[in-house]
Amino acid sequence: MPATLPDDRFGRLPKINKAGACAAQRITEIPVNDLLIFRGESRVSNIVFERFKEAYRQMAKVARYRPAAPSDGYGNITVELNDPDDLEKESWRYAKKLYQQDENGIFEIYGCSNFSTNRALVYVLEAAKNLCAGDDDAALKLLDMAITDIKIKEPSET
């Protein structure tokens, strides 16, 4: 029987999924040069952290999206795009922040919705909630809805 979280944030109790992460896996964190070293109860925490780093590297490679890269404030990355050391540092920073958010069960999103894709944003947010609750099938359907909505987006209001 899967463990559940003590609160009901999303209308049902989320399950601790196959990764075994979330509030059920508490670890000791030691900051070292803006990196995290994990020690303690299990390797699960390290595996989750490494998966977050890998996701960052894949976003950089496939989508050319690097949210933890230093920028000039205008969307221009200020480090060498092909430097593996920079990418590794970014992936550590990103994974550290995301891991802390995952442990707290509260994820940060900044900005306002774009009118022409605001329905897609709703579907993506609800998909994320379903992924946290372990309902992968619902998440996939919602993400498909978001993709469809983005492809047929309405023109922005003028």
pLDDT number for residue 35: 43
Rounded to an integer, what distance in angstroms lies between the CA atom of residue 61 and that of residue 44?
A: 25
pTM of the shown model: 0.69
pLDDT number for residue 18: 46
Q: Answer with the residue of higher pLDDT: 149 or 3.
A: 149
Question: 38 has which bridge partners?
Answer: 29
Tens digit of each residue's pLDDT (9 = 90 or more) over 43-57 = 567 899 999 999 999
Give the amino acid at 112: C
pLDDT number for residue 61: 94
Q: Report the Cα–Cα distance between both ends of the chain, in Å, rounded.
A: 53
* Average pLDDT score over the chain: 78
Q: Answer with the residue of higher pLDDT: 57 or 80.
A: 57
Query: Do residues 113 and 97 touch, judged by C-beta distance below 8 A?
Result: no
pLDDT number for residue 43: 56
Rounded to an integer, what distance in angstroms lies between the CA atom of residue 73 and that of residue 2?
A: 44
Rounded to an integer, what distance in angstroms lies between the CA atom of residue 115 and that of residue 102?
A: 29
pLDDT number for residue 156: 64
Tens digit of each residue's pLDDT (9 = 90 or more) over 92-132 = 999 999 999 998 999 999 899 999 999 999 999 999 999 99
Q: Please, which pLDDT band fits residue 21 given cuts at 50, 70 and 90?
A: very low
Give the DSSP H or E segment for 35: strand 35-39
Range with the lowest mean pLDDT among 23-27, 42-46, 148-152? 23-27
Range with the lowest mean pLDDT among 1-15, 36-50, 77-91? 1-15
CB atoms inside a 10 Å sphere around CB 147:
13
Query: Do residues 21 and 102 touch, judged by C-beta distance below 8 A?
Result: yes
CB atoms inside a 10 Å sphere around CB 155:
7
